[in-house]
Structure 1
Amino acid sequence: MSCRHPCRSEAVQLISEGRLGWELNWSCDGCGIAADDVNRGPAPECVRGRIIERYGTGQVRVGGSGGQGGRVLKVFRDVFGWSLQDAKRAATELTTTGWRGTHVEASLVAHLLQESGIEANTHDQGCEA
């Protein structure tokens, strides 16, 4: 049963134990009900889109041929569970335009690339709104 008052919600991403996670927190001023939806793994596009709209994007770049090879593909597949084709597309972006994701995603990808011996840099793209 709904109290018919609008709910407020906020979506966030986080890194826990080296893995992506996300939360959707919402509350209602009318009836006082509040809840947190906590999940592991990449955020669904509807949540991810809200995060990017509010906070902008982060960009990861690597120099030279450092963005090609199995270590890079492994990072993208481990973080996002992507197919080999999607991971290859992201690896190509790393050395050309730079790969873009949420700030949390970019931070995790850059960190894991650096841990695997690949020099990676992050840049904030700011809010687009």
Structure 2
Amino acid sequence: MIFQVGTLQSTCDKCGATVTFTATEALIYDRHRWDLEYACSSCGNAQHTGGPAPLPQYIRDAILASNPPSRISLSGETGSGAVLLKVLRSLNGGSIAEAKAAAEEMRENGRGGTKVEITILKKALDAAGVDSIVSHSEGD
């Protein structure tokens, strides 16, 4: 299991007190999921929600605000450009033009993301025979 946790502030649905939500992104047995929960210290109200990927942008933002991004870059021979395009389209969807732009960006600058996102991308690149190097933030 690979996971990262972030926090965000909001208000309790029941009493309006400020609460800290815990946002989690995880890869469990190759299943990508997210969870969000809090327990109010003022009134005891507790909430939990979650689901499969893709995770909501505000949860991704909270995780990246709490953890430096992981990075992946291509190394050595990257194989055919078509293979890289196929991997990126299978993970990100989008048009061929968007995949080409993402592939070019990745070739030139690598890609940053959450630890889970970069782990998923690394596994897909490895499976396709594309060499890459991952660097996670210290402490991970």
| Fold agreement, TM-score > 0.5 | yes
Q: How far 1:72 sits from its partner (Å)?
A: 2.1
Alpha-carbon deviations, 1:5-33, whole Å to 9, x = none? 22220212112443432211222112222
Aligned counterpart, 2:91: 79
One of 21, 30, 43 as aligned partner of 2:55: 43
Count of paired positions: 126
Measured at CA, do residues 87 and 68 of structure 1 come closer, stay the same or move farther in structure 2, by a change above 3 Å?
farther
User: How much identity, in percent, do the aligned residues show?
Assistant: 27
One of 81, 99, 115 as aligned partner of 1:103: 115
Unaligned runs of 5+ in 2: 1-12
Alpha-carbon deviations, 1:40-96, whole Å to 9, x = none? 122222111111111011111112551752332232233333333332222222221
Q: Which amino acid aligns with 1:79?
A: L
Question: Does 2:35 match 1:6?
Answer: no
Where 1:91 maps in the other structure, the secondary structure is: helix
Distance 1:87 1:116 in 2: 16
More helix by share: 1
One of 38, 62, 69 as aligned partner of 2:74: 62
Q: CA RMSD in A?
A: 2.2
Alpha-carbon deviations, 1:97-122, whole Å to 9, x = none? 11111111011101110111111111
Where 2:136 maps in the other structure, the secondary structure is: strand
